[in-house]
Amino acid sequence: MTDHPPVPPFTRESAIQKVRLAEDGWNSRDPHKVSLVYAEDSRWRNRNEFVTGREEIVEFLTRKWEKELEYRLIKELWAFDGNRIAVRFAYESCDASGSWWRSYGNENWEFNTDGLMAVRHASINDLPISASERRYHWPLGRRPDGHPGLSELGF
């Protein structure tokens, strides 16, 4: 198996790098690519759904991004220790009816020695917003380096 740097134990710098890599992956909206940074037997709790393994991760993310259109995400490091990282995040998306949402959440991550995420717990709340309240306007894909993060946006 190949390593997926950065690997634990994390420093502040390597934890920030791991968070940005995760954000970039999710902003790609490529379920297969994203699944490769999770252990083959990775266990998730995402809201009220429980997911185990890469195949279920791909199925989950495929469903997610079929519903959450125009998906743009920002993650920010909250805390880290050893092989664990805690993040907070917010993403914006619209549904098929054109209604916009901002979803706020926290994730707790645990990594194996190869740097693959073995456990992911996500708690998420959705807030309906108007199109004029949107704050994420970059082209779909990776958030530009100069774009403000969550703290700069006041989230």
Distance between CA 76 and CA 78 in Å, rounded? 6
Query: For position 4, what pLDDT does the model report?
Result: 82
Average pLDDT over residues 45-59: 97
In a domain, 151, yes or no: no
Average pLDDT over residues 36-43: 98
Q: Is the pLDDT of residue 148 over 50?
A: yes
In a domain, 79, yes or no: yes
Please report which helix (H) or strand (E) contains residue 133, including its range.
none
Note whether 67 and 95 are within 8 A (CB).
Answer: yes
Query: For position 119, what pLDDT does the model report?
Result: 98
In a domain, 58, yes or no: yes
Give the chain's domain count: 1
E strand spans, 3-98: 38-46, 49-52, 69-81, 84-94
In a domain, 154, yes or no: no
In a domain, 3, yes or no: no
Average pLDDT over residues 15-19: 98
What is the residue range of 98's domain? 12-132
In a domain, 25, yes or no: yes
* CATH code where residue 105 lies: 3.10.450.50
In a domain, 92, yes or no: yes
Render pLDDT for 56-107 as a digit per residue (tens, 0 to 9): 999 999 999 999 999 999 999 999 999 999 999 999 999 999 999 999 999 9
Query: For position 124, what pLDDT does the model report?
Result: 98
Confidence category of residue 144, pLDDT binned at 50, 70, 90? very high
Q: How far is CA 33 from the centre of its chain?
A: 13
In a domain, 39, yes or no: yes
